[in-house]
Amino acid sequence: MLPLISASSVTVTRDNKNILDNVSLDVGVKDFITILGPNGAGKSMLLKCLMGFFKPESGKIDKKAQLRIGYVPQQFTSEQTMPITVERFLQLRKSVPMGDIIAVATETNIETLLQKPLHILSGGERQRILLARSLIGDPELLVLDEPAQNLDISGQLAFYKLLEKIYTTRALSILMVSHDLHMVMATTKQVICLFHHICCSGEPQVVTRDPEFVSLFGHDMAEMMAVYQHGHNHTHAGHSHD
């Protein structure tokens, strides 16, 4: 099957430094890809190139014709000066029937927030609202840029649980930049480690043992990931392992 979106040899240069160096990747139907990498590794830039905000210096990006993308951005601080309710925010620039808004609100568990002003909401509530907005219009691909960055642990857990539920019920594809690999270890199908170029990629269990992963994130991180996998295999597979 043709990929939904495909980047081949994408290179982005800023101030004579390659922010992205010859990066290629495909996002196919029902993929769940998590991009990992240290700060300043070019993760957000890669998403921005894929979304078409930036034209890379070289390489090209192919999209399936009329691909419906839902985007959940990184930070979201709502200004006190802008009076707007959640419901109105969800409808901005989107002419969708109220029924669709309510359906998406129920799916993301924000139906009680619809009449509230945006600026009084907590970080977790705001991320769920962004997720809801990205789901309007029935996207084939969700692109998330560190969606749970400013949330506390329980907020992160709740957010990723919701994301997994959406991934399984809607059967869409997900491309996400996230440091919280341990939270999505069970669901994510492919991990890409990015440090300007793609250092390693593959299934999470394989990637976390890759020497490149260890050199990028250190032994502690690799061991921590191994612990998460251990727990995961144990509870779900229910048989012994190494």
Partner 1 sequence: MIDLFIIKALIAGVIVALVSGFMGCFVVWRRMAYFGDSLAHSALLGIALGVMLNISHNLAVMISSICFAAFLVWLQRKKVFATDTLLGILAHAALAVGVITITLLEQRIDLHGYLFGDILTVGNEQLWWLGIGGSFVILLLFFNWSSLVLMTIHEDLAMAENVRVARLEILLMFLMTIVVAVSIKIVGILLIASMLVIAPAAARQLARSPEVMAMFACLIGAISVVSGIYFSFELDTPSGPTIVATLAACFAILFPLSNFYRKT
Binding site for partner 1 (CB under 8 A): 51, 53, 69, 71, 73-74, 76, 78-79, 81-85, 88-89, 92-93, 117-118, 120, 130, 133, 143, 145
Report, in Å, the least distance between residue 93 CB and partner 1.
5
Q: Which of 91, 90, 98, 154 is nearest to 122 (CA)?
A: 154
CA pair distance 103, 2, nearest whole angstrom: 30
Nearer to partner 1, 21 or 140 (CB): 140
Report, in Å, the least distance between residue 14 CB and partner 1.
12
Nearer to partner 1, 54 or 228 (CB): 54
Cα 77 to chain centroid, rounded: 19
Report, in Å, the least distance between residue 88 CB and partner 1.
6
Nearer to partner 1, 133 or 196 (CB): 133
Report, in Å, the least distance between residue 87 CB and partner 1.
10
Residue 227 CB partners (closer than 8 Å, separation 6+): none
Report, in Å, the least distance between residue 83 CB and partner 1.
5
Nearer to partner 1, 7 or 193 (CB): 7
* Amino acid identity at 71: Y
Q: What is the DSSP letter of 120?
A: G
Nearer to partner 1, 21 or 125 (CB): 125
CA pair distance 49, 46, nearest whole angstrom: 5
Report, in Å, the least distance between residue 143 CB and partner 1.
8
Strand 190-195 to strand 32-36: parallel, antiparallel, or no bridges (unpaired)?
parallel
Q: Which of 4, 9, 17 is nearest to 141 (CA)?
A: 4
Cβ–Cβ < 8 Å for 38, 216: yes
CA–CA distance from 206 to each of 138, 202, 236 (Å)? Answer: 32, 6, 18
Tokens of 110: 């924000």
Nearer to partner 1, 45 or 225 (CB): 45
